[in-house]
């Protein structure tokens, strides 16, 4: 079983729609949680950290459910520029920067 599991997609979504991604992780000792965005042939870039209380950044909302070991990302009013691969990422502890990535979910916004 993979440590971080995501639906690879692809998700093809019309512009303006709302899209949700989910991710599960297997290590209950995981301490930090993130969503990264990766454009084609580019490096991953931090989109947002994820907290148990949930957090919002503009059109993006992230949620963490520690009991279910489940992380979600919601994108509202999707834009063409949101087309990318979204990587779910967890970190085991605060003393090591080791990040464990999911395989990513590919999103394409259709005009």
Partner 1 sequence: ETGVTQSPTHLIKTRGQQVTLRCSSQSGHNTVSWYQQALGQGPQFIFQYYREEENGRGNFPPRFSGLQFPNYSSELNVNALELDDSALYLCASSLGLGPRAFFGQGTRLTVV
Q: Which residues bind partner 1 (CB under 8 A)?
A: 4, 8, 31-32, 34, 41-46, 87, 89, 91, 94-104
Cβ closer to partner 1: 4 or 75? 4
**String of DSSP letters for 13-62:** EETT--EEEEEEES-TT--EEEEEEE-TTS-EEEEEE--TT-EEETTEEE
Q: How far is the CB of 57 from partner 1 (least distance, A)?
A: 15
Q: How far is the CB of 4 from partner 1 (least distance, A)?
A: 7
Q: How far is the CB of 44 from partner 1 (least distance, A)?
A: 5
Give the number of other Cβ atoms within 10 Å of residue 105's Cβ. 22
Cβ closer to partner 1: 104 or 107? 104
Distances (CA, A) of 4 to 8, 16, 20, 100: 12, 29, 17, 7
Cβ closer to partner 1: 96 or 111? 96
d(CA 111, CA 107): 13
Cβ closer to partner 1: 49 or 76? 49
């Amino acid at each position: 079983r993979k440590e971080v599991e995501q639906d690879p997609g692809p998700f093809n979504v019309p512009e303006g729609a709302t899209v949700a991604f989910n991710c599960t992780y297997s290590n209950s000792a995981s301490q930090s949680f993130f969503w990264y965005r990766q454009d084609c042939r580019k490096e991953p870039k931090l989109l947002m950290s994820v907290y148990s209380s949930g957090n919002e950044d503009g059109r993006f909302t992230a949620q963490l459910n520690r009991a279910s070991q489940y992380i979600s990302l919601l994108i509202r009013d999707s834009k063409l520029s949101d087309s990318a691969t979204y990587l779910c990422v967890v970190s085991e502890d605060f003393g090591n920067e080791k990040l464990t990535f999911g395989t990513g979910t590919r999103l394409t916004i259709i005009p």
